[in-house]
Chains A and B, each alone.
Chain A
Amino acid sequence: MQKRYVSIWFRQLLADWQVIRSPELAEVPFVFAAPDHGRNMITAVSPIATSQGIETGMRAADAKALCPGLEVLDDKAGRATKLLNRLGEWCVRYSPVVMVDDFSFDGLFLDVSGCPHLWGGERQYLKEIVSRLKSKGYTVRVAMADTPGAAWAIARFGKVSPLIAAGAHTEALLALPPEALRLPEITLAKLRKLGFYQIRSFVGMPRSVLRRRFGEDFLTRLAQALGTVDELITPLQLPVLFQERLPCLEPIKTRTGIEMAISRLLEHLCLRLQNEGKGLRTGVLTCYRIDGKVVQVSIGTSGATSSVSHLFKLFQLKIDQIRPALGIELFVLEAPKVDDILPGQEALWAGKPGLDDQSVIQLLDRVVGKMGAEVIHRYVPAARYWPERSANRAVSITDKPSTDWHIDRPRPTELLNKPAPIEVMALIPDHPPKFFIYKGIQHLVVKADGPERIEREWWLDAGEHRDYYQVEDELGQRYWLFRSGHYGGEQRYQWFLHGFFA
């Protein structure tokens, strides 16, 4: 297919943007300035200021002397790029492949191959872009040609027509100055010195001569403009492969309407996913409201799935977050992340249920979708004796225990997060307590087992070891007590209750 590119040049990008933000500046000359080497240098100029002879690169103080009513505004680095990114995203309506001009940072490239006929032809297409941007408040020049380089040149230096017919771009370039080739200032100065004021005067020269005088980059730029070398366009937004759109004739306002839209989008999307053997991992539903706002909700799954009912349930949890206001006119469902689904063997009899059971995974997805992933805990054994650290949190549902669970030592069914201090009467040196007082109630110890000494992991935290006792009181209630430290140690020993046995 014949490649076609559009270059959009925002002539006074920052000035236009400032006027849109504060319309009272439309009648006032103003400039943007940024400090550079201790001076305030002008970086962008408004049209009225330009007509009074102010240019970029002047000192702000000099400009003020030229034009006493000049407003000097602070410029922030990267503001133009940010603005261009936003405009580029807006331009996605004209073509899926949009790139910010990375040479001069004052324009956009659109790869429009196969797009203009949707707007009724190339002329109408360009007209639409210019008039829509103009109605937003931006002054632009556009051009369409077979190569991005040629479109860039025509947009900035073309005098005849912005629309260069297919194959005619070389001719259109000939009359343009060498600045149209996106060259650095040093090369341009050399060209001017040699008397090359038009591209036609050097385009026919042997390559070796040009390379020797102006370098390889010059040849590349020339070739890019002429179309002998392809220029790489990196799109601002990578087009999503799995996307479904649902435009609505009447704006949708009700929950039922949104549910119907979601289920219809999911049916189409899942059918496509199934045909390609893929499953959805993340889904994004974008709702375009008639008041121009965009509402987005997203879901995630822990494993690739293409089940409509499951995905619908996940979206159902998010419907409350969608505020339709006056109504939604367009639903777009995207699957930015998809994974391959291994086709499961159709079992003749039901398989063994377990953690990887489909219904369990779907349940977890719903819980995560509603309350977040930090709600879910699962534990795998850790090879450590310190009770608080004897289990690790599993990273995922498929995480298998790497060691066996310790079952050789008694452990209480309920463990206090923080051991509770108790008062104890116990014989030294290592007898279990005779009785202990917990929360004001005295428990007489009838049976006891222990001590089980657990050393502190000294490489992690400092402190005393613990001597654990398993005790049973006269009512049969069983507790896990411990004494922290030695009786005769330098630090004071203290008794604690740490858990309850079944």
Chain B
Amino acid sequence: MNYSYNELGKGDNIMNAKQELVNKLQQDILLWQGFKAQGTMTEEVIGLGAIEKAFPNGVFPRKAIHEFITVLPEHAAASDGFIGGLLSVLMKDGAACVWISTTRKLFPVSLCTFNVEPDRIIFMDVTREKDVLWIMEEALKCEGLAAVVAELNELSLIESRRLQLAVEESGVTGFILRKDARKAISTVATARWKISPVPSVTEEGMPGLGFPRWKVELTKVRNGNPGNWILEWGGDRFVEVTPALKTAAWYDQGKLQIG
């Protein structure tokens, strides 16, 4: 009995060592690619499930600019909801958020659905895009904020780079909602998202609508892996509904070794 246990332990050790080596190599590759690791990882879990694995080191980048492409108002509403869900985690420590816009349609009351207190969000409604950019840069430099959301259409490479520099210094998460999909290539955003609504699912035989459900497309991630997921806001957190979760289970159970 004892002997067999020892054998098992030895096998685990070898596997662990291999895993460590692979992890180390991955880290090295990221470093060569110019990625800087951020703080401790336990704090950084944002509740996005498998989507977080798409980011370098499996951590949702907070010191970054996230860009959302919203062409239709339906997409804008879905993106608002998704950002609301992210804000609920980012603003957990009581920090405030700034929401800058020229034509704001966001209904503050609805943010309660995503566990965000609307009174902790400071809306700034200006008339010119130039002012949005100015406020966004100033706000991103402000360390007391959790996040800055800006509804922008025009954003050049230089301007986006300025925003990125501001973010890297302060650690405030920046979100940009852009209506124009064509100019998407010319910015330095860390991640580019496209959130579109998909039919919700209700319990069998129940009337009404289910939880908000979105198709989350991560079209660009710096040093990460883009992909598509289906996500649902389960009342107080994100719930992953992709079948990938079920398929992922089989090699965990079977302890199959790859490579």
A residues contacting B by CB (< 8 A) are 352-355, 357-360, 362-364, 366-367, 370-371, 375-381, 387, 390-391, 394, 397, 399-401, 405-407, 410-417, 446-449, 470-472, 474-478, 499-502
Contact of A449 among B114, B135, B209 (CB under 8 A): B209
Contact indicator A502/B209 (Cβ below 8 Å): no
A311 to B122, CA, bound (A): 22
Contact indicator A412/B131 (Cβ below 8 Å): no
A364 to B100, CA, bound (A): 12
> Would you give the 0/1 interface string for B97-118, flagging 1 where the beta carbon is closer than 8 Å to chain A?
0100000011111111110011
Contact indicator A359/B143 (Cβ below 8 Å): yes
Contact indicator B113/A359 (Cβ below 8 Å): no
**Interface flag for B47 (CB, 8 Å):** no
- Centre residue among B81, B134, B209, B214 by max chain A CB count within 10 A: B209
Contact of B109 among A405, A447, A475, A476 (CB under 8 A): A405
Contact of A474 among B108, B109, B199 (CB under 8 A): B199
Contact of B197 among A381, A406, A478 (CB under 8 A): A478
What would 13 A/B residue contacts be, using CB atoms closer than 8 Å? Answer: A352-B93, A357-B95, A367-B138, A377-B125, A379-B108, A391-B109, A391-B118, A399-B119, A406-B109, A413-B106, A413-B110, A449-B209, A470-B208
A364 to B125, CA, bound (A): 13
Closest CB in chain A relative to B119 CB, distance in Å: 5
Given A411-B109, A413-B81, A414-B105, A476 and B120 contact (CB-CB distance below 8 Å): no
Contact indicator A475/B199 (Cβ below 8 Å): yes
Interface residues of B in 180-196 (CB under 8 A from A): none
Contact indicator A354/B142 (Cβ below 8 Å): no
Given A407-B112, A477-B197, A502 and B82 contact (CB-CB distance below 8 Å): yes
Contact indicator B107/A415 (Cβ below 8 Å): yes
Contact indicator B107/A477 (Cβ below 8 Å): no
Stretch at the interface among B12-20, B56-64, B71-79: B71-79
**Interface flag for B144 (CB, 8 Å):** yes
- B residues in contact with A416, CB < 8 Å: 105
**Interface flag for B67 (CB, 8 Å):** no
- B residues in contact with A391, CB < 8 Å: 108-109, 118
- A residues in contact with B202, CB < 8 Å: 447
A60 to B82, CA, bound (A): 82
Contact indicator A502/B96 (Cβ below 8 Å): no
Closest CB in chain B relative to A307 CB, distance in Å: 14
Closest CB in chain A relative to B75 CB, distance in Å: 9
**Interface flag for B145 (CB, 8 Å):** yes
Contact indicator A353/B233 (Cβ below 8 Å): no
Contact indicator B96/A414 (Cβ below 8 Å): no
Interface residues of B in 194-221 (CB under 8 A from A): 197-200, 202, 207-210, 212-214
